[in-house]
A and B are shown apart, each in its own frame.
Chain A
C-alpha cells in the first residue's frame, strides 16, 4: 500500500511539480492550497505524511501546525515543514510549532523522500 501524502503548497507550479514527482515515486498525493484547507484535509484524509509550506495564505503553516497539534484528530500526524529559509528562525519556529521535520526550498527531492520515509517508519512503529 502506498503512503498517502498531503501536500500543502500555495504555489501552483510547485504543487503540480511535487504532486507529479511524488506520484511517480509511488506516493498517493492529496493537495491543499492554504492553511485552512490543510487542516480540513488533515482531518478528512488522515494522511501518513503532511508536507506543509510555512508561507501560506488564509492561515500560515505555523498556525496550521499548532492548531493541528491541538486537535486530537490530527495531533499525531507527521508533518514536514517546507520553508524558504535554510537557517535560523524559520526552522526553529517550525519545530516549535510542532513540525516533525523540516525541508528547505528549493526541495532536494531524494532528501525529501528520505525524510518522508523515515517519518513514516516512525509513525508506523509508534
Chain B
C-alpha cells in the first residue's frame, strides 16, 4: 500500500522548469506552427493543473486517488514535452532544451517519492484554503525567496522575506509572524543561531520554525530539533510537504495564540476584579471571585446581605474644636483600624461617609455566616475603640465613641454610578433602615435588627431591646442591644 509520504514525490523543479519553458517559448510563440503551439499550451495548462493539485487539490481524496491524479498530470506533461521536442528540436532549439529540462524534472519528481523524510508528519489534508497566516521566509538565496514567496502567496499566505539571520530577527521584532521557514546555511548569522535566539526569546519562542536545508545528515537534523525546530525539510523543498508542514505549524500557532488570548483575558479579568474590589474587600474574597467568577454578578442582583453601619458620636462637634490636620489624622487612623477589622471578617466596605462606615456582609460573595460575622465584627470594632482612644490620649487628641447598627435584608447589589465613575455597592430600603437603626445608638452601642438576630448561629449576650418607628414602615422596628458573644469562641 502506498504510504502517505509517497503521495508527494515532488520538488520545485517541475514548476521551475515550466516557468523557464514559458520564458523561452513566449517570445517565439507566434512563429511556432499550430499543432506544436497547441501542444505547448496543453503542456503549460497541465503545469497549471499540477500546481492546482499541489496547492489546493485533492485533499478530500484518498492517497491512492490523489497520487493517480498527480501522476496523470505528470504523465501528460512528460508526454507533451517529449512530443514537442520531436517537433521543435531543429526549429526552436532553445525551446526544445527548455522542454528537455521539463522532461528531466518530471522524471526526477516522479522518482523522488522514496527519499527519506525528516519527520513522520503525514501529508494528508495537504492544504486548507482557510488556514493562512503570515510566514517569514529566511533564505540568503534570492531565487529561493522568490520561489517560496510565490508558493505561499498562491496559497493565500502573507509572506515576509529575510535574506540573512539578522534581517530575520529584525522582521520578527517588527511584526507578528505565524510560521518561520528557515534556511540553515547563510553568511553571517546562520540559521542555527537564528533558531537559538528565537527560542530564547519569550515573545517569539512560540512561533513554529520549519527548517529548510540542504543538509541531510542526521546529526544536523537532530541538532535543529533539539534547538527547538518544529520541522525539517530537505532542499529542494517538496511543495506538498511544505504546505502540509506549514498548515501544521499554523494550527500549532493558532492553538497557542488562542490559549494566550484566553490567559490574557483571565489576567484582565483578574486585574479588573482586584481594582474593583481590592480596596474594599479581603484578599480572600478577591481570590474567591477569581476562582468562581460566576458568583459575581455586577449587573445588579437582589440578594440578602447583612449591613453594618458605624458612626462616631458628636464627630462634627469634635471637628469644630480641632485643627483640620488633627481631624484628618484622627479620622484616618480610626478608619484605618476599622477597615482592617471589617476586611478581617470578610466584610465589604461599601463606603465611608465622613466618619461613618457602611460595610456589607454577603456581597459580592454570600456566605452562610454573614450575620454572625457582621455582629462579631461590630463587637471587635467596639473593642478596638479602647486602643484608638489610648492612642488619641497619647497624642493629645480627644477620646471618641462609636455606635453601630446592624441589619439584614434584601438589597440590590451591583456597580452603581455612571460609566465614568461607578462603584460596587448596595441600594434599597434596608440600607436606609440600617442607617436609622444606627441613629438610635449611643456611644459604645451595638444595635441589631430582629432579622439579623434571627440569622445568628452563635449565641450572643443580649441587652435591652427597643422599638422605633421608621419612616416608610408601618410596624415599629425592634432593635436589640448586643453586649458580647456568650460563647468562648468570640474574638475571631
Render A78-110 as a binary contact track against B, CB cut-off 8 A, 1 for contact: 000001111011100000000000001111010
Tell whether B352 is near chain A: CB-to-CB under 8 Å: no
B68 partner, pick from A20, A24, A55, beta carbons under 8 A: A55
Q: Which residues of A contact B280 (CB under 8 A)?
A: none
**In the complex, A77→B151 CA distance in Å?**
46
Q: In the assembled complex, how far is the CB of residue A16 from the closest CB belonging to chain B, in whole angstroms?
A: 7
Q: Is the CB of B76 within 8 A of A17?
A: yes
Q: Is the CB of A109 within 8 A of B71?
A: no
Q: Which residues of B contact A20 (CB under 8 A)?
A: 83
Q: In the assembled complex, how far is the CB of residue B34 from the closest CB belonging to chain A, in whole angstroms?
A: 14
A88 touching B1 in the complex, CB below 8 Å, given contacts A55-B65, A106-B71, A106-B106: yes
Chain B positions 1-58 with a Cβ under 8 Å from a chain A Cβ: 1-2, 6, 42, 46, 49
Q: Is the CB of A106 within 8 A of B110?
A: yes
A107 touching B79 in the complex, CB below 8 Å, given contacts A13-B42, A84-B72, A88-B1: yes
**In the complex, A84→B77 CA distance in Å?**
14
Chain A: which residue is nearest B46 at the CB level?
A: A13
A107 touching B2 in the complex, CB below 8 Å, given contacts A13-B42, A17-B83, A84-B67: no
Q: In the assembled complex, how far is the CB of residue B87 from the closest CB belonging to chain A, in whole angstroms?
A: 10
B76 partner, pick from A11, A90, A104, beta carbons under 8 A: A11
A109 partner, pick from B65, B74, B76, B79, beta carbons under 8 A: B79
A21 partner, pick from B6, B71, B83, beta carbons under 8 A: B83
Tell whether A39 is near chain B: CB-to-CB under 8 Å: no
Chain A: which residue is nearest B83 at the CB level?
A: A21
Which secondary structure dominates chain B's binding surface?
A: helix
**In the complex, A55→B69 CA distance in Å?**
9
Tell whether B424 is near chain A: CB-to-CB under 8 Å: no
**In the complex, A89→B63 CA distance in Å?**
14
Number of chain B residues close to chain A: CB under 8 A? 28
Tell whether B430 is near chain A: CB-to-CB under 8 Å: no
Q: Is the CB of A14 within 8 A of B2?
A: no
Tell whether B75 is near chain A: CB-to-CB under 8 Å: yes
Q: In the assembled complex, how far is the CB of residue A94 from the closest CB belonging to chain B, in whole angstroms?
A: 13
Q: Is the CB of B2 within 8 A of A85?
A: yes
Q: In the assembled complex, how far is the CB of residue A114 from the closest CB belonging to chain B, in whole angstroms?
A: 15
Q: In the assembled complex, how far is the CB of residue A3 from the closest CB belonging to chain B, in whole angstroms?
A: 19
Tell whether A75 is near chain B: CB-to-CB under 8 Å: no
Q: Is the CB of B2 within 8 A of A105?
A: no
Q: In the assembled complex, how far is the CB of residue B272 from the closest CB belonging to chain A, in whole angstroms?
A: 60
Chain A: which residue is nearest B66 at the CB level?
A: A84
Q: Which residues of A contact B49 (CB under 8 A)?
A: 13
B75 partner, pick from A14, A55, A89, beta carbons under 8 A: A14
Q: Is the CB of B79 within 8 A of A106?
A: yes
Tell whether A18 is near chain B: CB-to-CB under 8 Å: yes
Q: Is the CB of A13 within 8 A of B73?
A: yes
Chain A positions 60-89 with a Cβ under 8 Å from a chain B Cβ: 83-86, 88-89
Q: Is the CB of A11 within 8 A of B79?
A: no
Q: Is the CB of B71 within 8 A of A84?
A: yes
Chain B: which residue is nearest A106 at the CB level?
A: B75
Between A14, A21, A90, A109, the greatest number of chain B beta carbons within 10 A of the residue's beta carbon is seen for A14
Q: Is the CB of A105 within 8 A of B83?
A: no
Chain A positions 22-66 with a Cβ under 8 Å from a chain B Cβ: 24, 55
Q: Is the CB of A14 within 8 A of B65?
A: no
**In the complex, A37→B73 CA distance in Å?**
22
Tell whether B82 is near chain A: CB-to-CB under 8 Å: yes
Q: Which residues of B contact A18 (CB under 8 A)?
A: 79
Q: Which residues of A contact B480 (CB under 8 A)?
A: none
Q: In the assembled complex, how far is the CB of residue A41 from the closest CB belonging to chain B, in whole angstroms?
A: 20
Q: In the assembled complex, how far is the CB of residue A82 from the closest CB belonging to chain B, in whole angstroms?
A: 8
17 more CB-based (< 8 A) A-B contacts, given A18-B79, A24-B83, A106-B71: A13-B42, A13-B72, A14-B75, A21-B79, A21-B83, A55-B68, A84-B68, A84-B70, A88-B1, A88-B2, A89-B2, A105-B71, A105-B72, A106-B77, A106-B110, A107-B75, A107-B78
| List of 7 A-B pairs having minimum Cβ-Cβ separation, nearest first | A106-B75, A84-B71, A17-B79, A105-B71, A13-B76, A84-B68, A11-B72
A-B contact pairs, 21 of them (CB 8 A): A13-B42, A16-B42, A17-B42, A17-B75, A17-B79, A21-B79, A84-B64, A84-B68, A84-B71, A85-B2, A85-B6, A86-B113, A89-B2, A105-B68, A105-B71, A105-B74, A106-B71, A106-B106, A106-B107, A109-B78, A109-B82
